[in-house]
Structures are given as C-alpha cells and as structure tokens.
Amino acid sequence: MLEGLNSHQIDAVLSKRNTLVIACPGSGKTRVLTRKIAYELENLESKKKYVVALTFTNRAAEEIQKRLDEMGISQEQLWAGTIHSFCYQWIIQPYSVYEPNLVHGFSIIDENKKNMILNQLKEKNSLPYNVNINTSFDRKGHYLNEDRYKNEIASEFHQSILQNKEIDFDLILYYSNRLLENYPKIRFHLANLFGYIFVDEYQDTQDLQYAIIGQIIKESCNDCKLFLVGDPDQAIYESLGGIAKTPYEIQGDTGNEEIVVKELPGNYRSSQRVIDFFRNFQSTDVNIKALGANSEKAGIITLDTVTDKNNLPNEFAKIITQNIESGVKPNEICIIAPQWYFLTPLAKKLKSLLPNVPFDAPGLTPLPRNKENLWWRLSRLFLTEITPETSLNRFRWIRQIIEQINTYTNGTLGFEHKDCRKYLRLINSIKPRETEGVRYLEIAFKSFFEALEIDLNIHPVLNDQLYAFFKSINKRYESKEFDGIPSDVNYFKSVFSADKGIVINTCHGVKGEEFETVIAFGLLWGYVPHWSSIINKPKYEAQSASKKMLYVIGSRAKTNLHLFAEQGRTTINGFPYRINENLAEVSFKYDNEFLTK
C-alpha cells in the first residue's frame, strides 16, 4: 500500500484525522489519493459502509478506479464520481418525492441545450453572445453573478426548464442541499452510510458543495472522515464560484473538528526548466523542485507573438509533425484553446492538414456531453471496444445503467455480479448491421429494452430523454460547425477510443492532465483570463485569475511548451487584443529559434 511513496506521501496516507493535502503540480496527488482510498477501503469496519471519492471530472474518477483495479483493491464499497453525480444518485433520485418541483418526474438537460436556451435569453434581453451568465447558487439559494440583471436571466432560465420538467447540474446541487437541510433523516442516513469522503481538486469546490459535504460530515459526529487534496494556485474556477477555503473555514462547515494540513512538495512530472517557467505565476513561495525522470531535460519552450490567427493551424501542424517524428505519441500532445468555441473549428482544420493523425476534441463528439445521462452511458457500452483493459469499467457502467433504469421505471432488475454479467452478455450479443451511427444506436437501444421486457412508451421520462438524446445529436449535425464531420458508426466508436489522439481542449478541460508537449494559444488579455474576470473587477483579482490560468497551462507540460499570443484578433469594438499582461512581464530564455525552422 505504501510502496514507492516518499515520506510526505506516506504521512498523508496514514493520517487518521480530517486532512487537507496541499499538492503542487506533479507531486503525486492522484497517487496519494488512490493509495489513501485503498488504505481506507481495506480498513472499513463494516460491510455496510461506503467510501466516497468526489472528483472534478468523470475522467478523474475512472483514473482512480483504474489504479485501484491495478492494485487488486475491491471496489464494492467505493463510490467515485463528480459531486453532481453523487448528489443525483444518493440524494435526488431516492428522495425527489420530497421536493415539489421534482415529484412528478424530471430529466437532466445537457450543456448544448442549456447554452441554446441561455443564448435565446441573451438575445431576448439584448445581451451580447459572449456575456457569461452564471447559473450556480450559493448555500442560501442566491445566484453568484455580481450583476442583478444577470441573476434575473439565470432565474428566468431555471424557471423555463422547470416548466418543462427539466433540471441542470446547478439545480441538482441546489435541491440536494435543500433536501439535506429540510429532512434530517436524509442527513442521518447518509452520515451513517459513509465512512470516508474524499474531495479531489478542493480549490474548485463551490460554497454550496462545501455545504452539502459539510452537512453529512457534521451529522456523522466525526464518524465520517474528510480528506481533501488540491492546489490553491490552480483555482481557476473562481468566476464560477470555486473557493480554496482555509482549513478553519472548512472546519466551520463540518462541525469544527480540526483539519490537519499536509504538503506534497516536489514535482515528478515536468523538467526543471518547465517548472522555472510556470513558477513565474505562483502565488506562494514554495520552492518546487523537479524530481522525476524529466527533471534534467532541456526540452523546447517558445513564445510566438507574431503569427496571425489564421495561420495558427499550419504552425500547430508543423509542431505536431516534428514531435511525432521525434517519437512523441499523439496522446502525449495537447493543444489548449482559450475558449470552448475554438475547439471544433480548430480540430476540423488540423484534421484536414493531418488526416492520418488521431485527435481527441470534445467539439468533434456527436453525442451530448451529459455523461450522467442514461442514453449516453448505454451508448458508451455499445460503442466501446471489448478488451481486458475495459472489462472492469464495463462492469461498473452496466451496474450504473441498471440502477438508473430501476429508478425511472420503479423496476426490480437485479444488479448483483451475476446479473451484471448477464446484461453485459446481452449487450455484447447485440450487433446491428447498420453503418450509420444514429440508426445503429436506435436499433441497439430498442433490442436491449425489448430483451429486458421494458416498454419505453409507458415510461414517459425515459422516453422523453431518449427523444432529447437523438434530437441533440441530429441538431449537431445540422449545424455549420459539424459540416463534414462523419456520421458513421465507426466515427461514433472513435469517440470512446479517443485517448489515442492529440487532445484539443480548454485550460479547464485539461486540468489535472499531463502531456509531453503542450501548445497553448489565445494567450491574450481578455481571452486568458476571460473578460468576465477583468471588466469591473479590481486589478488584483484580474491579475490573480490571469496567473492561475497561466500556472495551470504551463504545469501541464512535461518537457515542451509552445505559447502563442497571436496577431489578428480584435474586440467587439475593433481594438486589437494584446498579449496577456503577466506573460509579457516574464523574463525567460525561450527557444524561439525553433520557430524559424
């Protein structure tokens, strides 16, 4: 359990009290978190207790589960996923009958539909398309926008979807907290069910999320322990309500039981040269040292301030080609975009320039992004290749699906080990002779539910979600952005084998990831950070948001880092964007001779 850990990591794993672990980039945070989870799973005193691991992304949860599988640790008493998934499964689904707005059924909308509705409301209220409307709540049920007008639009958005018996992730948190507050028996049940709650990336946790976790911990009277890990310097979700709370503030949420602080110094990911670069944006004085295999590598670090925005794909293609020719695998290369709407156009251009190179870009995914959706999960099972590496994941996925089906249908399908094996055999046997992706899934879903003897027509919530799922896919293919994107089943399958390709995502989307080579563009004041973190904000807040973004971007790289503050971008009023202020101030010996090759 402790093999291969350094003294700081061992100290964290063996902590017996509520613990906050401050971990710099590459310090082995996930390793410590996984070993601590394994340690507590093996030391649970009751077969009826669970360990909960709350991660910022589903991908992070699956990484933890994968590592536990490799260690041979049973996960029967582990629940891992995002806090939204946790609230949905453990609070909303079993107790929605106590909430008037949910008692008659509901479905969860995906990000595409949410953005579409918000854009309609912006247009109705004469707001620019790029204005950010935060629909999150604090623990008192207030919206987090500083502008009252934006809060009114957020309220109008939620009223409109509730009228259609729909909720979003923010309402999941809001109603979960309200149910815990109003019904002590729910708090009591959860407090006695969980032996440990782990929180990954604690610095991005919202106040409402602290409140939900705190109510459970407090109710347990210290029988349920808390273990948080993260890095305040990577707190890039402050504009959405993320707070790197102090230990004393967290104690106030959880019943005033003392929280001990542990630190993980040392970086096992990056070269010292990369570290020396991103330390320019560090807010603390922790002296981060490279301790891994890459520590002495020189690598290539460049800053390009002259390339025009229209020529970026060509420059990226050159860098990618040179890296692949030098032995870097495609999935060890990442392109970081300043905003999500850059992803699809860039991925399409690069795909045309490098047709034989695989890419992993969310903007190229035809399926809706709501990974809690039953139909998304079922699609993943039908489209994922069956291999020894995926077998344990597939077993977990089918169990989640059966539990959801039972909830929606008030059914009694078994989800013990033998039951799940039977359902997996059923799914493996369903192989539609259809080459078109949507039609393939339609036939597969129909065959699966017929075999389960479930008539979707008598389950309106499930049926409505199915209709919305396919409508969302078709809407994507009708949009200009998706023009030219394949619609065959092989392309749909590639969505779930995308970890072989070059990652194209935002800074927020790659947080927690690491790559041999990172290419970042749009490093312009107003893009990084976004104008919403600058306009009408004190200078120190804008500077803080800027430095944290640059810190996260730089610390993703192991060896090579290519930075672009390109020319040709202008504001709505026609003024040219300029290089990020903090990046411009950095004195660093770049390898810009590489740019002329």
Burial class (CB within 10 angstroms; exposed 0-12, middle 13-18, buried 19+) of 555: buried
Q: Comparing 340-344, 445-449, 513-517, which segment has the lowest mean pLDDT?
A: 340-344
**3-class DSSP assignment, residue 409:** helix
Q: Which residues contact 150 (CB under 8 A, 6 or more apart)?
A: 131, 133, 134, 143
Q: Amino acid letter at 326? A: S
The answer on pLDDT for 479 being more than 60 is yes
490/495 Cα distance (integer angstroms): 9
Q: Which residues contact 241 (CB under 8 A, 6 or more apart)?
A: 134, 136, 138, 144, 206, 207, 208
Backbone angles phi, psi at 579, to 5 degrees: -60, 145
């996930």: which residue's tokens? 30
The 10 Å Cβ neighbour count of residue 153 is 20
Domain 272-358+501-596, CATH 3.90.1170.30 — does that match?
A: no
| pLDDT-derived band at 498, boundaries 50, 70, 90 | low
Q: What angle do CA 68, 385, 503 make, to 5 degrees?
A: 75
Q: What is the pLDDT of residue 105?
A: 82
Residue 319's nearest CA partner among 519, 558, 520, 557 is 519
The 10 Å Cβ neighbour count of residue 424 is 18
Whole-model pTM?
0.84
Backbone angles phi, psi at 524, to 5 degrees: -120, 145
The answer on pLDDT for 499 being more than 80 is no
On whether the CB atoms of residues 54 and 214 are closer than 8 A, the answer is: no
**3-class DSSP assignment, residue 320:** helix
The 10 Å Cβ neighbour count of residue 90 is 20
CATH topology of domain 7-89+175-264: Rossmann fold (3.40.50)
| pLDDT-derived band at 151, boundaries 50, 70, 90 | very high
The answer on pLDDT for 33 being more than 70 is yes
Could you list the beta-strand ranges (E) of 327-394: 333-337, 359-360
- Reported for 358-361, long-range contacts at CB under 8 A and 24+ positions apart, including other chains, are 358/330, 358/494, 358/498, 358/500, 358/501, 358/502, 359/330, 359/498, 359/501, 359/502, 359/504, 360/331, 360/498, 360/499, 360/500, 360/501, 360/502, 360/503, 360/504, 361/503, 361/504, 361/505
The 10 Å Cβ neighbour count of residue 294 is 22
pLDDT tens by residue, 172-226: 999 999 999 999 999 999 999 999 999 999 999 999 999 999 999 999 998 999 9
Six-digit token pair at 587? 């004195």
Please give the mean pLDDT across all residues of the chain.
91
Q: What is the pLDDT of residue 368?
A: 80
**Sheet of 225-230, strands arranged across:** 78-81, 50-54, 194-199, 225-230, 19-23, 260-264
The answer on pLDDT for 410 being more than 80 is no
Q: What is the pLDDT of residue 550?
A: 97
87/563 Cα distance (integer angstroms): 39
Six-digit token pair at 197? 């709650």
The answer on pLDDT for 484 being more than 90 is no
406/439 Cα distance (integer angstroms): 25
The answer on pLDDT for 384 being more than 70 is yes
232 upstream amide cis, omega within 30 of 0: no
pLDDT tens by residue, 229-281: 999 999 998 877 889 999 999 999 999 889 999 999 889 999 999 999 999 99
Residue 360's nearest CA partner among 156, 529, 497, 549 is 497
On whether the CB atoms of residues 182 and 98 are closer than 8 A, the answer is: yes
Q: Which residues pair with 230 in a beta bridge?
A: 22
The 10 Å Cβ neighbour count of residue 134 is 18
**3-class DSSP assignment, residue 271:** coil
| pLDDT-derived band at 299, boundaries 50, 70, 90 | very high
The answer on pLDDT for 110 being more than 90 is no
Q: What is the pLDDT of residue 107?
A: 80
Half-sphere exposure of 304 (CA within 13 A, CB side): 24
Q: What is the pLDDT of residue 450?
A: 95
| pLDDT-derived band at 494, boundaries 50, 70, 90 | confident
**3-class DSSP assignment, residue 545:** helix
Which segments of the chain belong to CATH 3.40.50.300? Answer: 7-89+175-264, 272-358+501-596
C-alpha 352: how far from chain center: 28
Q: What is the mean predicted confidence (pLDDT) over 541-568?
A: 96
The 10 Å Cβ neighbour count of residue 140 is 9
Q: Which residues contact 296 (CB under 8 A, 6 or more apart)?
A: 271, 272, 290
Q: Which residues pair with 52 in a beta bridge?
A: 79, 197
Helices then strands (H, E): number in the chain? 22, 14
251/220 Cα distance (integer angstroms): 14
pLDDT tens by residue, 413-437: 988 889 999 999 999 999 999 999 9
The answer on pLDDT for 408 being more than 90 is no
| pLDDT-derived band at 375, boundaries 50, 70, 90 | very high
Residue 495's nearest CA partner among 396, 379, 391, 390 is 379
